[in-house]
Structure 1
């Protein structure tokens, strides 16, 4: 399995005689995959974008490309920008809540400084969900500048805007993200402690212990896509969420099922398996002051398929 959770299944075509390892597309493939995933929230769509970007790269006059990385970033951004418009229409017709496809890593070791620079900071499920409220242009400007530190001149070229307009897009997106976010205030150890307490209480069916780890105003989000039974709307409040979780545990934590811990979009989360090697669901959490304020549960098998492929 790839050590990088955000590019586990975003593949360019295999390197061959006409695509050596020194080819700029191959050199930047992980970075481009990270950009596409953070712009789209979908590994499936990100992989489609990389395939199309690779085809365009093959057909371009490379002698006229002064900066291949900037050129490829522009190509990927424009392809994602086009997809975001149609994706919004699809997601409005989606059954229940639409949540991003989770990026899962079983590696606890932090990324090296070079990897952070190449791949951008981890983008939590909560932040990806909030970014669904941005316009395609706002999302592109925010991700490129705030996550990948791309300059506004380059962003402007990608979006066919002026640098000042690109700066305004990023600023507006930043304000909207801040207004819509319940960002985690927990350090990794505190976050993990809350998740482990949640898992232990869930396994026991212990309502009182669940209430102790859930914020009174906790929000539970679910995405089954109409394929797997899941709530069509968020569930609000610790009492309702704790009873929901106990009911789910009674239904799913049966012999043959197992669950464990993993990093979900760079933060401690829970993953469970209906049978060995088959991912049945992933939960990402936001933790504030030691309590869980939001949970994002993805059980739509189409959004988990990349995890089974990556683990095989």
Structure 2
């Protein structure tokens, strides 16, 4: 198989792998692009298994990037949230990408993943999300099969159980997201009180590019007061569009055709345990690239 065909086949997997490790689709695409360029320079006979080799190269680049000074998030303005990915129409547009992205980690899962080391992330992702065997993972991360199994179990214990994705659960969570959108659009305080709890936390990621809360806001009372205070600043005529973000129900806040915020949730029974709002325009370019 020629390298151009391999590129088209493997790019969704490699971008998804890098994205889940980094939390940024832009960084992931840059890493995968650089990896393919370096691969082009190697004679074909030096790469026995291109898929394993490219996964290994992506892993190494991610590790280097995470450890680099430019990755320092201590200088990030306000809470950092992973870049949201709209997975609503992936299956319709590209069956190959659908296979890769259908089990994309939610915002909450991606945030938990950031607490792991780079090697723990890659081992966990390859086995849990991409269903690689431990012997295959061992070749990619230069560890023994036994060590990879231990790393995975340690990472899984740290992360806990990932959100259930059965059709029934997704439908229930989609209904909660729609009710939140309704409450936001109609300023329905009673509905917000019903959806939020004293333990709910609101995170806003403006990245210093737009006005946003610089610290997480905890508790339904403070969150509702915050929304009441900022509601007059929302663009006139905006609307909420329910969609699938990282494989889970979410909301896009839209003015005209432009998405200016993406809202995702962490769910607990019939309430929202966390609300994540990405407003940093640099993290929303994929939503607006065709405008």
Q: How far apart, in 2, do the equivalents of 1:265 and 1:76 lie?
A: 21
Q: Counterparts of 1:122-141 in structure 2 under 5 Å?
A: 122-141=104-123
Query: Partners in 2 of 1:258 and 1:264 — Cα distance?
Result: 17
The aligned length equals: 288
Residues 87-130 of structure 1: CA distance to partner in whole angstroms, max 9, x if unpaired? 78521221111110000134397999976654461210110011
Is structure 2 residue 42 aligned with structure 1 residue 98?
A: no
2:24 corresponds to: 42
Aligned to 2:262: 282
Q: Kindly tell me: are residues 258 and 108 of structure 1, through their superposed partners in 2, closer, same or farther at Cα, counting changes over 3 Å?
A: same
DSSP 3-state at the match of 2:273: strand
User: How far has the Cα of 1:259 moved from its partner?
Assistant: 2.5
Which of 244, 261, 268 is 2:242 aligned to? 261
Alignment of 1:168 with 2:164, yes or no, is no
- Whole-angstrom distance in 2 between the partners of 1:207 and 1:97: 25
**1:226 partner SS:** coil
The structure-2 alpha-carbon separation of the partners of 1:101 and 1:107, relative to structure 1 and needing over 3 Å to count, comes to same
Long gaps (5+) in structure 1: 1-17
Contact 1:156 1:166 survives alignment (8 Å): yes
**CA RMSD in angstroms, aligned pairs only:** 2.6
> Which moved further from structure 2: 29-38 or 101-110?
101-110
Instruction: Note the alpha carbon deviations across 1:213-265, whole angstroms, 9 max, x for none.
Output: 1133111111111111111221111121122223333321x424232111111
Query: What CA distance in whole angstroms lies between the structure 2 residues aligned with 1:306 and 1:114?
Result: 19
Match for residue 52 of structure 1?
Answer: 34
2:288 aligned partner? 308
Query: What is the rounded CA distance, in whole Å, between the counterparts of 2:227 and 2:50 in structure 1?
Result: 49
- Cα distance in 1, alignment partners of residues 288 and 33 from structure 2: 21
> Residue 259 and residue 122 in structure 1: after superposition, are their counterparts in 2 closer, same or farther (change >3 A)?
same
Using a 3 Å threshold, how does the CA distance of structure 1 residues 115 and 306 change in structure 2: closer, same or farther?
A: closer
Counterpart of 2:51 in structure 1 is: 69
Tell me the equivalent position of 1:246. 228
| TM norm structure 2 | 0.89
Contact 2:12–2:97 under 8 Å retained in 1 = no
TM-score, scaled relative to structure 1? 0.83
8 Å contact from structure 1 (residues 184, 286) kept in 2? no
